[in-house]
Amino acid sequence: MKYVLALDQGTTSSRAIVFDRSGRMVAVAQREFRQIFPQPGRVEHDPREIWASQHAVALEAIERAGGNAADFAAIGITNQRETTVLWDRASGQPVANAIVWQDRRTAPRCDQLRQQGHAARIQKKTGLVIDAYFSGTKLEWLLDHVPGARERAEAGELAFGTIDSWLVWNLTGGRVHVTDASNASRTMLFDLHKQDWDDELLKLLRIPRAVLPQVVASSGVMAESEPSLLGAALPIAGMAGDQQAATFGQACFAPGMAKNTYGTGCFMLMNTGAQPVASRNRLLTTVGWQGPPGAHRTSYCLEGSVFMAGATVQWLRDGLQIIQSAPEIESLAAQVDDTDDVYLVPAFTGLGTPDWDGYARGTLVGMTRGTGRACIARAALESIALQSADVFGAMTRDARIALTELRVDGGASRNNLLMQMQADFLGVPVVRPQVTETTALGAAYLAGLATGFWADGDEIAAQWQAERRFEPHLAEAQRVAKLARWREAVERAKGWARAG
């Protein structure tokens, strides 16, 4: 066995990456798929397109690695989290489009749950704040709005899953309906302490247990793929939500270690060890991973979620059309030394940590007649780093320790200007590893540990190598003033959709 295959199913594209024993990328394939926006604030995907694109890139990556599926020890899966799929168990066909994690259609329902006094109980059980971000109210919405869905779900005819469950279902020809603990912990239906679906929350959202997947460990053989799909029956042995997988791929195995992933959104996670830590600063408490085998230990994380990061750059490209490709933003933003007090608050799908405002909307403030493309591009990059600085501050207060560095990964972490901004706004070094595809690498590591491809966490930690370290250059007084001015801009974005 030479390789592990990682399936990395993201918000805008499906990727497959082949890793060897040294953690090096041997082959990669990627395909984008449609983003569906049926109404303002709603975001959907076609689950059939997701599966078709993921299957295609898996075959392509295997071919590029030498074309022999028998060379692969295992498959690891990592996925966009919270995105909600409901499908027919008999036909395997979805009964509606998937509701994407960014979708805000259930914000009024979340308001209702808060007004009814459920916030404290839900946070205590699940570690989550009540928000449309999570899968629970999305699933409730589908059961209420797809004709006959609730009755069919209660009869055991329908299956719910996040994207990991949907991929495993299709990889196994409909034989296996599972999710791992990290993904389960993002549904608002899972009790962190009991490590099981919570009957009280299921009753609150009127969700029948029959529709739910079995919860399994993140590292452990949970199924085998159908031989006809990839050329051999391969063990599916690792599974974690994308941000937990990235934390594992960054070898953040010790409590207090933290990483930030710059993808469609920005997601900062800090390992808090074997016990969940309740947040006082509106962070999320989440399962990091379970396993590897033999340990049967759950690692927990604190998490801060920023909804618009790379998606903000995508908006500059596709919406405003002021750049032709995402990498152009770095050179364009570098044409000016500062934004001249212009701030972009990219609350296009509301605000995540620490504001949790589903009614906030994107704003661009401080413009003058002299504001041009370069200034807006720089404000867009700054918005990514400033949102992450808000999360970092909340995490430092919750953890009651001074985080001394931040490990970074994801596509936008290759933007040197953005990483320097991040170090300046945090006031601590930002460290970029040699392998920035740590989400896929984490899924590979989880699968490889379960099948003996890698021996233990020490072997994995030894493979992690820094590629570049960005030291902060901004004076402390300037940093504090910048963050304060940013918060003024954020206040102007809040509640806009509610006011309209």
| Residue 6 near residue 20, CB atoms below 8 Å | no
pLDDT of residue 499: 56
Q: How many CA atoms lie within 13 A of 15 on its CB side?
A: 25
Q: 38: domain range?
A: 3-250
Model confidence at 498: pLDDT above 80 = no
Write out the two tokens for 66. 């030498």
Per-residue confidence (pLDDT) for residue 293, from 0 to 100:
53
Give binding residues for glycerol as ranges.
Answer: 81-82, 133, 242-243
Contacts of 366 (CB under 8 A, 6+ apart): 339, 340, 341, 342, 343, 489
Residues annotated within the binding site are 11-13, 15, 81-82, 133, 242-243, 264, 310, 314, 411, 415
pLDDT at 292: 64
Residue 170: inside a domain, yes or no? yes
Using alpha carbons only, what angle is made at residue 243 by residues 2 and 37, rounded to the nearest 5 degrees?
Answer: 110
Tokens at 62, concatenated = 């295997």
Q: Find out whether 271 and 384 touch, Cβ atoms under 8 Å.
A: no
Query: Would you say residue 467 lies in a domain?
Result: no
**Residue 40 pLDDT grade (very low, low, confident, very high; cuts 50, 70, 90):** confident
113 burial level (CB within 10 Å; 0-12, 13-18, 19+): buried
From the annotation, which residues make up the binding site for ATP?
Answer: 11-13, 264, 310, 314, 411
pLDDT at position 148 = 94
- Binding site as annotated, residues for ADP: 11, 15, 264, 310, 411, 415
257 or 186, higher pLDDT: 186
pLDDT at residue 500, rounded to an integer: 54
User: Is 66 a member of any domain?
Assistant: yes
Give a yes or no: residue 43 inside a domain: yes
Percent of the chain scoring above 90 in pLDDT: 77
| Longest alpha-carbon distance in the chain | 64
Cα separation, 203 vs 422, whole angstroms:
43
Q: Is the pLDDT confidence value at 90 over 70? A: yes
Residues sharing a CB contact under 8 Å with residue 91, sequence separation 6 or more, in sequence order:
none
Strand 466-470 relative to strand 430-433, pairing: antiparallel
Evaluate whether residue 340 is within a structural domain: no
Structure tokens that stand for 484 in this block: 């304060």
Q: What is the pLDDT of residues 254-295, one digit of tens each?
A: 888 889 989 888 989 988 888 888 888 889 999 999 976 555
- Whether 358 is in a domain gets the answer no
Which residues line the annotated binding site for sn-glycerol 3-phosphate? 11, 81-82, 133, 242
- Residue 296 is predicted with a pLDDT of 52
- Average pLDDT (75-81) is 96
pLDDT tens by residue, 115-143: 999 999 999 999 998 999 899 999 999 99
Phi-psi region of 376 (alpha: psi -120 to 50; beta: other; left: phi over 0): alpha
For residue 69, what is the DSSP state?
G
Asked if the structure places residue 92 within a domain, the reply is yes
| Total domains in the fold of the chain | 1
Mean pLDDT of 7-33: 94
- Mean pLDDT value across residues 55-73: 93
pLDDT in tens, 322-356: 999 888 999 999 999 999 999 999 999 899 888 98
**Is residue 79 in some structural domain?**
yes
pLDDT attached to residue 61: 96
Average pLDDT value over all residues in the chain: 92
Token look-up 């029959």 returns 210
Tell me the C-alpha distance between 181 and 379, whole Å.
Answer: 37
% of the chain surpassing 70 pLDDT: 99
Q: What is the CATH number of the domain that holds 237?
A: 3.30.420.40
